[in-house]
Structure 1
Amino acid sequence: MKVKKLAHMIALMGVFAPAAGPVFAQDGAAVMQRVEITGSSIKRLAKEGALPVQVINYDTIEKSGITSTEQLIRSLSANGTGADNMTSGNNVFGADADRVSGGASYASLRGLGPNSTLVLLNGRRIATFGASAKAVDLNAIPLGAIQRVEILKDGASAIYGTDAIGGVINFILRTDYHGLEVSLNDNFTQHGGGANRRLSLLGGVGSLQKEGFNVMGSVTYDNNEKLSSHDRAFANGFQPERGLSPDTTGTPYANQLSGAGTALGTGFKRPGDPTTYLQANPLSFQGKCDSIPGMSQYQTALWKDVTAATRSTYSCAYDYGADYIINFPVERLNAVARGTLQISPDHKLFVEALYGHNKATAEFTPVQISTSLANGNAYPVGGAYYQDLSAFIPSFDKTKPIIYKWRANPWGNRMQEDVTDNARLLIGAEGVLLGKWDYRAGLSHGESTTKTALIGGYGYTSKIYSALGSGIINPWLSAGQSQTPEAMQLIESTRFNGAFQHGKTSLTQLDGNLSGEVWQLPAGPVSMAVGFDLRREGYNFAQDVDATQILLSPGNAALNEASRDIKAVYTELIIPITKELETQLALRRDHYSVFGSTTNPKISFRYQPNGMLVLRGSANKGFLAPSFTQLYSGRLSQELPNGIIDPVYCPSHPGDPAFCAIARLPYFSGGNPALKPETSKQGSLGMVIEPVRGYSASIDYWAINSQNRILNRTPQIVLANAALLSQNIIRNPDNTINYVNAGWINAAGTKTRGADVSLRGEGKLDSYKWAFNLDGTYTRSFKFAEIEGQPYQEYVGNFYSRDLYLRWKHNASLSLSRGDWSGMLIQSYSTGYKDQLPDGGKAAPPPGFNPNVKAYTKYDLSASYTGFRNVTITLGIQNLLDTDPPFTAHNVDEVVGAGWDPRVADPRGRALNVLLKYKFL
């Protein structure tokens, strides 16, 4: 093996040493490249290093019809099945949701969360998402300019420091391109909506080998169209016979509420019925809830513990889950420029500039309003639309105002425009010193800025309340009716449109390393790398207006300018013990200006006893530094959905809404400056076998234990653990809950176990070349405890509101080529899981309820032709069989998606992908 190639591998500690094969099939050129990197005489085994690394080249990505980095990462079997995608981020549900997602999407290897996956560009860090500083937004990656993607499925804190507990995803850009290439990709769905289009231009001049320089650039424009739940029949939240029905009474035709001094008083009784009811809708008494589109009679039997029968028996419900925007409009512009100067055979300098502009138009359902006498927004006596329920409720007092709960459709969908600009400038040098020491150094600065503007559906709280209290606006519109011009003019006067909030992250980095052989052993040379990493990270987040004045505004609390300095040094060794066995050792020490130092070691080995077998393994420690938001975000006031139950006092006050059906319970959340880093211990053990040339298999078993897990202590968790967290539940003198304190804590840890499997075969059949690949991940166990001291619970195969931990996921591909033609068939598969039980299992589900969500299988087919000069034509059909997402009866208040789950399935249905590429001479 050449010294330079070996040293390069040492410096990156296996990140550039490919392993278990790509998710999809790769062409022959990619295979030869991998052999050249490793320098082995055995084709398949030569590609296997001490660490499990998966490689995907850009040609494979194009042929697969993938049009965004999010799609690519979601196709990885090792990536988690969580709510870190743009569909889930478009609908802010659950108190632990990212309220400033802004169209961002994230990676989450092993399902450990975006913060635990390190995303690199050409082996270096880039700034995290400007709105939340949560992690790197995948939309910031210029997918059209990459050469390949390398996924290290092992902990790497000993190499890169924080964020690498779950693994590393490294996007490698083209660095030496000569020529001009233009490509057009059009991906549109059979059933309408959700089309994706891309236009890409790549060009370069000069040759490093011949002319001593190269200048290249790439510009890519993407346009993703909106896809609404209305466009897909499976997005139906009212299927009570299967255990699914809306549990909200915030309806377009308002439900009346009870309360002292109101028309319903503190409750009402029906003739011959001793029960006191607390909420009513005139359509419910008439059996006409379904006369309004999207509305239905509230299914009390399905949600007995969520909404008391006293409140829901005579109420209507609304399927707002079927009003979601599944994919919202996104425009992306990414540009990359790189200039490289070969100043001598052993030294080169380069400058790299990256710019990305991402505009996402998020769209939410109309605001839900619960009126009250205290807020002055009750419907007045004598108003033109006063609903007299005396015919149904003898005790109805029409001399009193009406308070009600209403989905305020006349204001329209809430819309926000999130614009993110990403930029990075890198100056670097690479080369060889004294003929044997490889070096690499770079200085970079990157920024990510996100600006959010409210562009529809939002308004000033005080103005909206005043308008509702006037009686001019009608909360009880029948089908086909509309507000009067006077009412619409009043509604328009309440609106707020304009700049709302903004955030910015920054990253300045100076790094360098030196690697080479240090001495000779009988089994071969010992090689060593030493390096340093100096970074300054910054973040700020602020509102452009007072968010408390905007009704149900979506923002986080302000965070003033915060920064931290990180200083790190590391060393690595490759030691050949025998001709068959080598070990890799790494040690890194990081010092953070905010919480001190941490030292993390790693050891791995590679043993090849013969030409058909490789054994490998690793053991290491890792850490995850708290984010700026987790440390410093301000105190934010929010509200929980209606129907919250006080677990302490509801049992002793059955039927009392003050304890058993609490309306809009307030809570506070925010940062915790006392947070400690999350730490981990992890390891892997695997083998690769090639019994016959061209046929191979690998399996790598992995285990990760973490401690001090950084979790958002949501109000739901606080209430569910009231005995352990009673200090976080602030009560009034009458024992009703005043508010709940929530926020970030160091909770208990996680324990996860599993295995990655890869199968590969390639050969010839007559004049045809074929190749088969399968990459799968088996998760044997994923356990964690929400609070320190609680027993660990198993989540694999069970419903959970944050992430799903599926037993098995895989991607398999079969490719066939002959001459100018090539084709590829891809299968994506994920196992099913136990569904969420309606009513938490407290009520017997209907006979048609299936407690298991079915497995999901999707096929993609593509064909490419290169017979025309300089032209490549690729036609593909994604979701070949037009498979709908599997049905799930989960509560849409906790996970986005009425009747389906965007964490698991692709909602677009069958789509046609057309790719045209032309290379100029």
Structure 2
Amino acid sequence: MPAFVAQAAEEEDIERIEVTGSHIKRTDMEGPSPVTSLSSEDISKSGVTDLIGLFAKLPISGQGTFSTQANSSDDTANGGSSVSLRGLGADSTLILVNGRRVSVSPFAKSIDTAFVDINNIPIAAIKRVDILKDGASAIYGSDAIAGVINIILRDDMDGAELNVKFGDTADGGGEEQNVSLVWGNSDEKSSHTFVLDYFKREEVLYADRDYSKSANQAALRPNDPFATDFRSSSGIPGTIELASDPTVRVPDTFGNDVCAPEDIGGPFCRYDYAPHMSMFPESERFSFNYMGKYEISDSVEGFAELNGQNSKSVVRGAGSPSFEELFMSGDNPNHPFADDPDSEFYQQDLTMRRRTVDIGNRQKNVDSDYYRVILGARGDIGDWNWEAAYSYIKSESTEMGVDGFPNSQRIQEAIDSGLWNPFEPSSNSEEALAYIETFTTRTGKSTNKSFDAKISGPVFSLPAGELFVGFGAEYREQSISDNPDDQFLRGNVFGTEATQANASRDNTAIFGEVMVPIFDSLEMQFALRYEDYSDFGTTTDPKVSFLWTPTENLSFRGSYGTAFRAPSLHQIGLGRTDESPNLVDDIRCAAVGNINKACEPQEYTAVFEGNPDLGPEESTSYNLGVIYNITDNINFSLDYYNYEIEDIIDSDTQFIFSNFGADPNVVERLPSNIPGDPGEVVTIFDSFQNIGDLDTSGIDLDFRWDLDTGLGQFKLAYILNYVLEYEDRRPGAEGGQRIDTEVGDFEQPEFRWTASADWIGFDENLGVNLAVNYIDEFEQDAAVQAVGMPKVDSFTTVDTAINFYGFKNTVLTLGATNLFNEEPPFAYHDFMGFVVNVHSGQGRFAYLQAKYSF
């Protein structure tokens, strides 16, 4: 339990430490704001090999958390991972390393979500992770709407530690290897800690799992009336269509190369792309970390932090699809109906839906470098503590398309000249294939340069103790660039997605805090931060919090404050970017019915651009909680939280499509010969807006029980996040607002919990860890919901590990995550058959680990 401020003042030998959530040092870890700390031992017991594996299991993590799962040739942030606290988005969760910001990934997730790639931080380098579970812009500035994750790196090594881990999945793919070496020394004047870490993970394809091995979910689940055939309408050799009216079409069953009978679905030659796509990409990372400090004088200490990582990912996708981008003239020498005057296609200009499998399946190689340098000094002036530092952080990434990407200009030239025949793939020469294939390059860079300084200490004594203040300033420069090659910019590459964004900003902040002991049992904390941004203006955010300890075993805490999120540089500086969202053409569906599946979700081309006129998201939040030590060995904390967020920055392409789909300035369509038919969609134009509001509230429970028995020591824990309200409101069709998402809707489970038990034998040579992870059920995606369709079921997994300490300086661990190899619950919205943003398709992962200290 927290110590009284008055007691701390009397005991001058108690060291004050800085706790996440305040710049004022205090004598204990428990403060007015709710903070959960996970030690390196806690992380090791979880069995995970990277941070996203840890965060994805936390009940507080929600919709918007993402890993490398489902990386594909269409993803815009391959190789990256980040966490979304309370489901408010990865860009509303502030990630710190040792209390300071790091640069965002140069490649945004879903074209606009700026995120810190937590894959840059190896587990071997982590001392602990603090999770601040309320808004904290008054302390740390932008992005701290949902809370703060502060990753504290190891800095106290004296000796060496070698850790080796090997693991594999039960169903194929995903083999992992991890080797780390930590060493260092400490003395009265200095300390130095070094970490080398190597991590490699084998790829997992959708083909490796029975429930995702085919995009034809109807065939995988023949007794399920709601299962859908998601196979693409762009097949091989394809579907032939009239250029003048693409609704007139037939599968290519003419000539030597024909569409296989099992691939013919309605008027299309379909293609099963699922087996060729990455569920988890192949990944390889090598990291170096150094933490050092040196005593310059009795009152001044210099420190340095150096971190670097190179990471590589290989992402696979099916051959590139084209949807009416290619044409063949009526007099082309390869025209498939040149000798059939009875055909309606005879001497007609043609277009097609055709997949270029003949040049190979798509492969992207992503190579990223991350650098972080912190140089600073800290010291004491009497009872006051000060610290100042300069930070330089840079992330660079190169994404190369090395196989399976056609150049649309050259492929059209090859069709026109007769060099390449799209309807007879087996007749095409190596020369023709080499001519139409291209290699793509996309480069990105993100930098964060900052200088910060702060000072804190006691001002004067009050009857209940000393009043502490802290204040400081920070100047930060940020920049991002994300530039695909000229082929992308000219629109000459189809079958893939890439973003272009270039922007920079600087901002200056000044901040202050006051910690006031009102009574022996009541502490109040006040904070205020002012920020001036070069691109959108200024913002001021306050925070008030309290900690009341009426008895030795009982405390109450609460906080109230405002927070903000500045528009990301990607949202402001995004250039023209093509996306392929799954949408329903409500305008056409209402006009002519389900022609060409207009009433069903399918891919359309949406063009996005940045919006330099965006304002910040703004939020108000409060937290009320109780901490109770029932006995010396049993305690719990219970917190109620409430967030109200305004002016959310987002796009809503389906809303634009449904409500303005008849406006040619918003949706470009092909002409149609069918009366009343608005025509097939060519392009939808969209951008980012301050578009809506969001309210959410809920309860966090953390229960702990340490139990000593004749059989050894047990540590029991239960952690729950229960969402009482989640209401995301967006523009309505006739003004006002509509509710877009509520708790229990798609990807919004009502509650998540984790129950764990750790046992150490009485001789301390053997230990067992067991954890049960539960995610509640939720509705299917609204786009596919039908009467009688079951919800996405709840998901329960069990993790366990056996630790043996019988050898000197050595710990041997045999463990497994998802011990019973539970499949993720079925979902109807997409081809893989499960919700990749909520559930994992890894399956059982068994591992053996050895740690030796010397």
Alpha-carbon distance between aligned partners in 1 of 2:330 and 2:777, rounded to the nearest angstrom: 48
Matches within 5 A, 1:571-610: 571-610=512-551
- Could you give the per-residue CA deviations for residues 693-725 of structure 1, whole angstroms, max 9, x where no partner exists? 2112221111111111111343x3311232999
Equivalent in the alignment of 1:860: 799
Residue 891 of structure 1 deviates from its aligned partner by: 3.3
Q: Are positions 1:171 and 2:151 aligned together?
A: yes
Match for residue 810 of structure 1? 753
Amino acid at match of 1:539: I
Match of 2:292 in 1: 339
Pick aligned residue for 2:429 from 487, 490, 494: 487
- Secondary structure of 2:405's counterpart equals coil
**CA gap 1:852/1:657 in 2 versus in 1, 3 angstroms:** closer
1:359 matched to 2:341? The reply is no
Q: Is the 8 A contact 2:323 2:354 kept in 1?
A: yes
Asked whether the 8 Å contact 1:809–1:831 carries over to 2, the reply is yes
Cα gap change, 1:887/1:342 in structure 2, threshold over 3 Å: closer, same or farther? same
Partner of residue 840 from structure 2, selected from 891, 906, 921: 906
| Contact map agreement 1:530 1:570 (CA 8 A) in 2 | yes
Structure 1 residue 15 displacement after superposition:
8.5
Q: Please state if 1:881 is matched with 2:827.
A: no
Contact 1:371 1:378 in 2 (8 A): no
Structure 2 residue 368 is matched with structure 1 residue 420: yes
Shift of 1:876: 0.4
Over 3 Å counting, the alpha-carbon distance change for 1:726 and 1:678 in structure 2 is: farther
Q: Which moved more, 1:137-146 or 1:535-544?
A: 535-544
CA contact (8 A) 1:838 1:889 kept: no
**Aligned mate of 1:531, from 468, 472, 488:** 472
Q: What is aligned with 1:203?
A: 183
State how far apart, in whole Å, the 1-side matches of 2:602 and 2:554 are. 64
SS at match of 1:795: strand
Asked whether the 8 Å contact 2:698–2:722 carries over to 1, the reply is yes
**Deviation at 1:281?**
2.8
Count the aligned residue pairs.
Answer: 822
- Give RMSD over aligned pairs: 3.2
Q: Superposition pairs for residues 758-777 of structure 1, below 5 Å?
A: 758-777=702-721
Partner of 1:746: 690
Decide which moves more: 686-695 or 246-255.
Answer: 246-255
Which string of whole-angstrom CA distances, capped at 9 and with x for unpartnered residues, describes residues 457-509 of structure 1? 112112223445566767678xxxx835x4344212222125x1211111111
**Paired residue for 1:872, among 782, 787, 811?**
811
Which of 761, 772, 793 is the equivalent residue of 2:739? 793
- CA–CA distance in 2 between the matches of 1:474 and 1:454? 24
Cα deviation for residue 172 of structure 1 reads 0.3
Report if the CA contact (8 A) 2:20-2:130 is conserved.
Answer: no
So what's the TM-score if we normalise by structure 1? 0.83
Q: CA–CA distance in 2 between the matches of 1:410 and 1:550?
A: 18
Bigger drift between 517-526 and 669-678 goes to 517-526
Match of 2:40 in 1: 58
Do the aligned residues in 2 keep the contact of 1:142 with 1:336 (CA within 8 Å)?
Answer: no
Partner of 1:686: 625
Query: Hey, what does 2:408 align to over in structure 1?
Result: 461
CA contact (8 A) 2:242 2:348 kept: no
- Quote the residue 2:194 is aligned against: 217
Counterpart CA distance in 2 for 1:662 and 1:487 is 37
Determine if contact 1:329/1:362 at 8 Å carries over to the other structure. yes
Task: Select the structure with the greater relative contact order (CA < 8 A; seq sep ≥ 6).
Answer: 1
Aligned match for 2:327, one of 352, 358, 376: 376
For 1:829, the aligned partner's letter is Y
Match of 1:645 in 2: 585
- 1:378 CA drift (Å): 6.6
Partner of 1:279: 249
CA shift in 2, pair 1:756/1:794, >3 Å: farther
Q: Residues 327-359 of structure 1, C-alpha deviation per residue, up to 9 Å, x if partnerless?
A: 001111111112211234433111111111111
**Which residue of the partner structure matches residue 33 of structure 1?**
none
Counterpart Cα distance in 2 of 1:405 and 1:521: 78
Residue 475 and residue 909 in structure 1: after superposition, are their counterparts in 2 closer, same or farther (change >3 A)? Answer: farther
State the partner residue of 1:626. Answer: 567
Counterparts of residues 242-261 of structure 1 (less than 5 Å)? 242=224, 243-259=226-242
Amino acid at match of 1:425: V
Residue identity opposite 2:313 in structure 1: A
Provide the C-alpha distance between the structure 1 equivalents of 2:597 and 2:272, rounded to a whole number of angstroms: 26
Contact 1:11/1:572 (<8 A) preserved: no
SS at match of 1:584: strand
TM-fit CA distance, 1:663: 10
Q: Which amino acid aligns with 2:305?
A: E
For the structure 1 residues 87 and 869, does the alpha-carbon distance in structure 2 shift closer, same or farther, using more than 3 Å as the test? same
- 1:25 maps to none
The alignment partner of 1:88 has SS state of coil
Q: Does 1:153 align with 2:153?
A: no
Amino acid at match of 1:376: F
Q: Deviations over 1:19-63 (max 9, x none)?
A: xxxxxxxxxxxxxxxxxx855xxxxxxx64311111111122123
C-alpha separation between the residues in 2 aligned to 1:395 and 1:345? Answer: 94
Q: 1:73 Cα shift?
A: 1.5
Question: Which residue of structure 1 lines up, in the alignment, with residue 203 of structure 2?
Answer: 226
Alpha-carbon separation, structure 1, partners of 2:707 and 2:268: 66
Deviation, 1:727, is: 6.3
Who is 1:135 aligned against?
115
Q: CA deviation at 1:851?
A: 2.0
Report Cα offsets for 1:499-555 as digits up to 9, x if no partner: x12111111111121111112222222111111111111222323433135422645
Contact 1:180/1:201, CA 8 A, preserved across alignment: yes
Distance between the aligned counterparts of 1:84 and 1:112, measured in 2? 13
Letter in 2 for 1:327: F
More strand by share: 2
**Alignment-mate amino acid for residue 914 of structure 1:** L
Deviation per residue, 1:89-118 (Å, 9 max, x gap): 4363xxxxxx53031111111111111010
Separation in structure 2 between the aligned mates of residue 163 and residue 71 of structure 1, nearest angstrom: 22
Contact 1:637 1:667 in 2 (8 A): yes
8 A contact 1:63–1:876 mirrored in 2: no
**So what's the TM-score if we normalise by structure 2?**
0.89
Deviation at 1:82, TM superposition (A): 3.0
Q: In structure 2, what is the Cα distance between the partners aligned to 1:593 and 1:69?
A: 33
> What percentage of aligned pairs have identical amino acids?
26
Which residue matches 1:826? Answer: 771
1:387-410 Cα offsets, whole Å, 9 max, x none, are 9999xxx86445546543123222
Cα shift at 1:792 = 4.3
Tell me how far 1:182 sits from its aligned partner: 1.3
Residue 384 of structure 2 aligns with an amino acid whose one-letter code is W
- In 1: Cα distance, 2:233 partner to 2:594 partner: 20
- 8 Å contact 2:337–2:347 — kept in the other structure? no
Point out the more displaced range, 627-636 or 722-731.
722-731
**Is 2:282 the counterpart of 1:329?**
yes
Cα distance in 2 for residues equivalent to 1:697 and 1:83: 27
Gap regions ≥5 residues in structure 2: 1-6, 673-677
Q: In structure 2, how many angstroms separate the alpha carbons of the residues matched to 1:890 and 1:5?
A: 61
- The answer to whether the Cα contact below 8 Å between 1:383 and 1:472 also exists between their aligned partners in 2 is no
CA contact (8 A) 1:424 1:445 kept: yes
The residue type paired with residue 124 of structure 1 is R
Paired with 2:517 and 2:713, the residues of 1 have a C-alpha distance of 38
Residue deviations 1:807-852 (CA, integer Å, cap 9, x gap): 01112210000212111001111001111367554xx6xxxx6421
For structure 1, list consecutive stretches of 5 or more residues without a partner in the other structure: 18-36, 40-46, 93-98, 268-277, 299-312, 893-897
Tell me if the contact between 2:65 and 2:83 (Cα under 8 Å) persists in the aligned partners: no
Structure-2 change in CA distance of 1:796 and 1:348 (3 Å)? same
Match of 2:434, SS? helix
SS in 1 for 2:426: coil
1:103 maps to a residue whose letter is G
> Following TM superposition, by how much is the alpha carbon of 1:640 offset from its aligned partner in structure 2, in angstroms?
6.0
Which residue in the other structure is 1:22 paired with? none
Against the structure 1 CA distance between its residues 543 and 473, is the aligned structure 2 distance closer, same or farther, given a 3 Å change threshold? closer
**Structure 2 CA distance for aligned equivalents of residues 738 and 318 of structure 1:** 21
Residues 379 and 615 of structure 1: CA distance in aligned 2, closer, same or farther (over 3 Å): farther
Deviation at 1:729, TM superposition (A): 4.3
Identify if the C-alpha distance between structure 1 residues 402 and 249 changes in structure 2 by more than 3 Å, giving closer, same or farther. Answer: farther
Query: Taking structure 1 as reference, are residues 202 and 724 closer, same or farther at Cα in structure 2, changes over 3 Å only?
Result: farther
